[in-house]
Structure 1
Amino acid sequence: MKPSRIVALALLAGGVAWIGSGVVGRGGQAGLAADAAKPAAEAPRFRVAVLPVRNEMHQRRVVLSGRTEADKRVWAVARVSGVVIELRVRRGSVVRQGQVVAVLSDEAREAQVKQAKAKLEQRKAEAVARLRLIETGNYPALNKPLLEAELKAAEAGLAQAEAEQMKGEIVAPISGVVNDVPVEVGSALQVFMSSANVAEIIALDPMLAVVEVAERQLAGVQVGGEAEVKLVTGDRVRGTIRFVSRKASPGTRTYRVDVEVPNKDGKIPDGVTAEVDLLLSPVSAARVPRSALTFSAEGRLGIRHVTEGGTVAFAPVKLVEDAMSDLWLAGVPDDARVIVEGQDFVKEGERVEAVPAMGQG
């Protein structure tokens, strides 16, 4: 082959190689640019664990320490002065309303009754005789109203004397158990003095469990609501809220609540320590784990959840009840997927990959 041809072929091969290197270079740079852009468009999303929750009507509970208290506590007192000549009860006696618990000395009350009866008989006889005279015209008819008035006065005098005589018997004002008897046979009693107290009677059925409720919890306590009472003796009974005070205690700013508990057998004593579990009015709330609580950028307490579009959203919440392991919160969107793991590493509007929390399948 001639040298001129060899040179021509070499130049042709060099030109082709030079042109080819430019095309390949441009294609390589485009590929590199595409590869650089691809990771940015398809960057893996942050993975968070979510728990689906649903709002429901939740009956809140408030556990308070209190005491039992007799529903009624009344003294059987002497209404007239006298000496105790008979005492028919002692501590622990069960009495019925109207039952005689003690008898006082007569103090001439029986004599006053006899005198009133005699005076009434006299007035009746005088009225009969004078009415006959009026009928015959031998006595002024104008005196007839006077005769009737004297007769009525005599009847009233007898009733008063008999009432005074009955006061000598001291009766139980209520049914219950005698708690204290500060007198003995022979004790002299005087009315309008403390010594006139004869027997303290307490009504044990129903029994009251009394607690003090804070003002922030008062809105959920309603008359007729249910309650569970655990006594220091270990007994458990159910009761009903009977009274909610509308005036706060000046020292504690708490409100008295009375829970009525049946006590027909008198087993529950007065004044023992009791733990009262009040069941408050139901409210709409969602049950979420404690770990789900977080704070927004503005410092508001709430939860983060994943929307249907896969983005993170924040919902402010209000604590309804702090349970043993979970929280009952108001303000959680219904059927929300609450983030329970990773909520502190994402922010609102960020697209994430939501996976079920452990144990949710």
Structure 2
Amino acid sequence: MTPRPRLLTAACLLALPLQGTAASFDCLLEPSQTVEIRSAVEGLIHRIHVQRGDDVKAGQAVVELDTALERSALAVARFRATAEGRLVASKNRMDYAQRKTKRSDELHGGNFLSAQARDEAETERKLAEAEHKEALENQELARLELKRSMDLLNQKTLRSPFNGVVVERMLNPGDLAEAGNGRKPILKLARMDPLHVEVVLPLATFGKLKQGTSARVKTEAGQAYDAKVKVVDRVFDAASGTYGVQLELPNPNGKIPAGLRCQVDFPGIANLATAQRP
């Protein structure tokens, strides 16, 4: 008696290649990374350097917030960090106290100075040294305050985290940039090199692919490119009997647009998939 064939879901029927055809599976080209540029601090947007569709480089300044207050604070901090009047005065007092102590010791040794006067000179020396140390600590603190002021100023300049393209511009100069993930972003950027190729495969092909496996990707525009498997999901979709695979497609000049539908061919997968077909 011929065994009764098992039922397949519609997703599996679409994913499995037909007998005798190449192993072509539907896929989608996507950016390898997308990010929404938000401000870490609240501030008025002073300038946006890019428009939708512009290319950006890693580290490029894309947004500047108003920095008048931060620049004033930075000028004050820089003045304090470079001021040396108190430090020089404390150094002179310490040198004088050390010389005075030395003379007092010599006079006391010759019985020309009382022990009390010598102790007073010694105490004066210790106080002068402590004052000089405090002046040094205050100068170091001023340098740290300067660095803090510079960091606060740098927070008002938002930079691109990678080479990519501007997908969307949500705010404009004069708008208020609010801090936090729940607030409206200023820009949306996409990383175009490399691209990710997302494809859903039937369970019959599981175990036949691994990281580094080469494949041929054909876009709906007719171009073909070489890609390599980067991720093979190990959590299946029980409802459709499928799992996901992600390939990496080099796109050094950004010429291949994201969002295109495509077909991906895995060498040797066709026969394996059809052989396990019920």
- TM-score of the two chains, using structure 1 as the length reference: 0.57
What is the alpha-carbon distance in structure 1 between the residues aligned to residue 91 and residue 236 of structure 2?
69
**How many Å apart are 1:64 and its aligned residue?**
1.8
**2:24 partner letter:** V
- The aligned counterpart of 1:73 is 34
Structure 1 pair 136–254 and aligned structure 2 pair: CA distance change class (3 A): farther
Check whether the contact 1:225–1:280 (CA below 8 A) recurs between aligned residues: no
- Report the structure number with the largest CA radius of gyration: 1
Counterpart secondary structure, 1:320: helix
Q: CA deviation at 1:264?
A: 2.6
Residue 271 in 1 paired to residue 259 in 2? yes
Q: In structure 2, do the counterparts of structure 1 residues 142 and 225 end up closer, same or farther at CA, with 3 Å as the change threshold?
A: same
CA separation in 1, counterparts of 2:54 and 2:230? 28
Amino acid at match of 1:320: L
Cα deviation for residue 229 of structure 1 reads 0.9
Q: Match of 1:95?
A: 56
1:320 paired residue number: 272
Do residues 148 (structure 1) and 136 (structure 2) align? yes
The residue identity in structure 1 corresponding to 2:199 is V
Superposed CA offset, 1:104-149 (max 9, x none): 1125111110121222234x32222212222222552234443332
Alignment gaps of 5+ in structure 2 = 1-21, 98-123
More strand by proportion, 1 or 2?
Answer: 1
**Correspondent of 2:24 among 46, 60, 63:** 63
Cα distance in structure 2, aligned partners of 1:130 and 1:84: 46
Equivalent-residue separation in structure 2 for 1:197 and 1:251 (angstroms)? 36
Q: How does 1:118-267 map to 2 (within 5 A)?
A: 118-122=79-83, 124-137=84-97, 138=124, 140=127, 141-195=129-183, 197-249=185-237, 252-267=240-255
2-structure distance, mates of 1:251, 1:160: 55
Q: 1: distance between equivalents of 2:216 and 2:236? A: 23
- Count the aligned residue pairs: 228
Q: What residue number does 1:6 align with?
A: none
Contact 1:82 1:107 in 2 (8 A): no
Task: Give the superposition deviation at 1:255.
Answer: 2.7
Q: 2: distance between equivalents of 1:101 and 1:220?
A: 44
Question: What stretches of structure 1 of length at least 5 have no aligned partner?
Answer: 1-60, 282-318, 329-361
- How far apart are 1:225 and its partner, in Å? 0.7
Offset of residue 176 of structure 1 = 0.7
User: Offset at 1:193?
Assistant: 4.8
Letter in 1 for 2:265: D
Q: Secondary structure at the match of 2:136?
A: helix
Sequence identity (%): 20
1:91 Cα shift? Answer: 0.6
TM-score (norm 2): 0.73
